Chains A and B, each alone.
Chain A
């Protein structure tokens, strides 16, 4: 178990009420604690409510049933303590890489020199040095996501919320970015909630994996996946392969259910 709970999700349910259609129960009685500096993956089939849970923690959706507390305080709207990275990057397309990264730093009220220094530092950290003046439309998918990660990390949130951040990238770029994210996480040691439907990605990145059921989503099982991630042979190790297999078996049944119910 985590040493100290950074994020507490306490019996949260969430219902979507689309206009002129029946309400959809997206989350059903979810409880979960995420420790300080922990890397937790939320894994589940599409439509299981894992992104919804992330948005609730982010404060983008109102918590209507149950409670979510971050550092003991109930979540009430978005805040710079919880940075978010989206699947489709959500960069401001009219701003250059530099201006994107500067945006949050301006809001923080840092003096100009300091803003530029921090922005350069994080652009360098994600390997985008030399692309400061490029617009997002001029970058590849992987580079866009690097820019988005730099923008989020620059304001130094204690929590990093990642919503299938590598889902829109091709396979090679994705595995590069996964290794890169681990490197960055080990340096900055933030609390991470990482939403994915990719079993191998979850096992490779996360210390704990919360496997979610098909809609209405609830936590089916929490799997510990603590490996020595410095080991270059990790992906081929028996321990790793068995863990992927185990988690895949947990998800499989739910994926079939989600498919049958036509979850979309």
Chain B
């Protein structure tokens, strides 16, 4: 059957699906074009001699460097360190932030105690605490992960409080009249009901954790992508520095996409997953 025939014979519903698919493909392709443009411009700029290769090494050289790092095992080591520490920090911030947020929303005395602390802490540039963390906890995993937790926990707490407070009274009352105790409400009703907004908070916290980890590694040195970049820059190894940037960008993108995928899985029941969105 020819293309035109298919188009005419297809029932309207199928046409809709076809259009959606084409739309999705176009969107994917559309996202790649601007990135390609940047890459081409980068390569052209450094090859044309407008800038020296030291200031801006050609991306082909940078990618070659990434490949070398991958072969030598350097990349796996540094990436592994950074990912492990970012994800550890993220996990602790997530678990702690959700627990604290739910308790703050539902237990008056917890709210009374932590509300002022969170209010002061949230807008603070927490990266400024870096010297103190180094002083107290040293230069290794404990202090780096603590730094990530400290930065990433605030958006989780505030998102969780808002979500837990927003749970509909009839939902809670239904559960109570079906025999749930006040304690059971927290885990069985409030947590799942608040999950969509909590996940939004976690989606903010994950890149924060990664960003803070890179900066912390840069300041404290040692293994990890941030540490490797600083080491490269000390040796005036400009492809090494740019290779770090590319590695961070790709790793960050994978993490963000991964958590978005997880969201879709966890919220299979939710309206947002049920209805086809136009976005």
Partner-B contacts on A (CB < 8 A): 55, 58-60, 77-80, 82-84, 86, 88, 90, 92-96, 103-104, 107-108, 135-138, 148, 151-152, 155, 157
Q: How far is the CA of A80 from the CA of B173 in the complex (A)?
A: 11
| Given A58-B177, A78-B176, A92-B171 contact (CB < 8 Å) | yes
Q: Mark B164-177, 1 if CB is under 8 A from A, else 0.
A: 00001111011111
A155 x B178 contact (CB < 8 A): yes
Q: In residues 144-193 of chain B, which contact A (Cβ within 8 Å)?
A: 168-171, 173-180, 189, 192-193
Q: A60 to B179, alpha carbons, bound, how many Å?
A: 13
Q: A78-B173, A104-B178 are in contact. Are A90 and B269 (CB under 8 A)?
A: no
User: Would you call A82 and B269 a contact (CB within 8 A)?
Assistant: no
User: Quick one: given A90-B173, A93-B269, are A103 and B195 in contact (CB under 8 Å)?
Assistant: no
CB of B277 closer than 8 Å to a CB of A: no
B126 on the A face (CB < 8 A): no
Closest to A138 in B: B274
As a 0/1 sequence over residues 80 to 100 of chain B, the CB contacts with chain A under 8 angstroms (1 = contact) are 000000000000000000000
List chain A residues, Cβ under 8 A from B257.
Answer: none
* Separation of A96 and B269 alpha carbons in the complex (Å): 8
- The reply to whether B175 and A135 form a contact with Cβ atoms under 8 Å apart is no
Q: How many angstroms between the C-alpha atoms of A87 and B269 in the bound complex?
A: 21
Please, how many angstroms separate the alpha-carbon atoms of A82 and B174 in the complex? Answer: 10
Closest CB-CB distance, A156 to chain B, in whole Å? Answer: 12
Q: Is B2 an interface residue (CB 8 A)?
A: no
Instruction: Offer 6 A-B interface pairs, CB within 8 angstroms, sorted by A.
Output: A82-B177, A86-B173, A94-B192, A95-B269, A104-B178, A108-B179
Taking CB as reference atom, which chain B residue is nearest A83?
B177
Partner of A137, one of B170, B193, B270: B270
Bound CA span A135–B272, Å: 13
Given A86-B174, A137-B270, A92:B192 Cβ within 8 A = yes
The answer to the question of B48 belonging to the interface, with a C-beta cut-off of 8 Å to chain A, is no
Most buried by B among A135, A136, A148: A135
> Which residue in chain B gives the minimum CB-CB distance to A107?
B179
B271 adjacent to chain A (CB < 8 Å): yes
Cross-chain contact B170 with A88 (CB below 8 angstroms): yes
CB distance from B188 to the nearest CB of A (A): 8
Query: A135 vs B175: C-alpha distance in the bound complex, in angstroms?
Result: 17
Q: Which 6 A-B pairs have the closest CB atoms?
A: A107-B179, A104-B178, A90-B170, A78-B176, A86-B170, A90-B174
- Bound-state CA distance A167–B178 (Å) is 22
Contact status A135-B173, CB under 8 Å: no
Residue from A79, A95, A107, A136 having most chain B Cβ neighbours under 10 A = A107
User: Within the assembled complex, what's the spacing in Å between the Cα atoms of A104 and B193?
Assistant: 17
Q: Is the CB of A137 within 8 A of B192?
A: no
Query: A108–B268 Cα gap in the complex (Å)?
Result: 28
Contact between B179 and A92, CB atoms less than 8 A apart = no
Q: Which residues of B contact A84 (CB under 8 A)?
A: 173-174, 177
Q: A78 vs B180: C-alpha distance in the bound complex, in angstroms?
A: 10
Interchain CA distance A77-B178 in the complex, whole Å: 12
A259 to B179, CA, bound (A): 38
Q: How far is the CB of B141 from chain A (nearest CB, A)?
A: 36
Cβ contacts under 8 Å, A90 to chain B: 168, 170-171, 173-174
Asked if residues A137 and B271 are in contact (CB atoms below 8 Å), the reply is yes
Q: What CA separation (Å) do A60 and B170 show in the bound complex?
A: 10
Q: Are B269 and A80 in contact (CB under 8 A)?
A: no
Q: Whole-angstrom distance between the alpha carbons of A90 and B178 in the complex? A: 12
What's the Cα separation between A225 and B180 when bound, in Å? 37
Restricting to B235-253, which residues have a CB under 8 Å from any CB of A?
A: none
The CA of A196 and the CA of B269, in the complex, are separated in Å by 31
Instruction: Give the docked Cα–Cα distance between A59 and B169 (Å).
Output: 13
B165 to chain A, nearest CB (A): 14
Besides the known contacts A84-B174, A90-B168, 20 further A-B residue pairs in the complex with CB atoms under 8 A apart: A55-B173, A59-B177, A78-B173, A80-B178, A82-B177, A86-B173, A90-B174, A92-B193, A94-B192, A94-B193, A94-B270, A95-B269, A103-B175, A104-B179, A107-B180, A135-B269, A137-B269, A137-B271, A138-B274, A157-B177
The CA-CA distance from A166 to B270 in the complex, in Å, is: 23
Residues of A within 8 A of B268 (CB): 135
Give the residues in chain B near A60, CB-CB below 8 Å: 169, 173, 176-177
Q: Given the complex, which residues of B lie within 8 Å of A136, measured CB to CB? A: 269
Q: Report yes or no: A92 in contact with B170, Cβ–Cβ below 8 A.
A: no
Q: A92 to chain B: which residues have CB within 8 Å?
A: 171, 174-175, 189, 192-193
- On chain A, the residues within 8 Å of B189 by CB distance are 92
Question: Are A78 and B177 in contact (CB-based, < 8 A)?
Answer: yes
| Given known A92-B192, A93-B269, A95-B269, contact A135–B274 (CB-CB < 8 A) | yes
Q: Chain B: which residue is nearest A96 at the CB level?
A: B269
**Interface-central residue, B169, B171, B179, by most chain A CB under 10 Å:** B179
Closest CB in chain B relative to A155 CB, distance in Å:
6
For B178, give its contact among A55, A96, A103, A135 (CB under 8 Å): A103
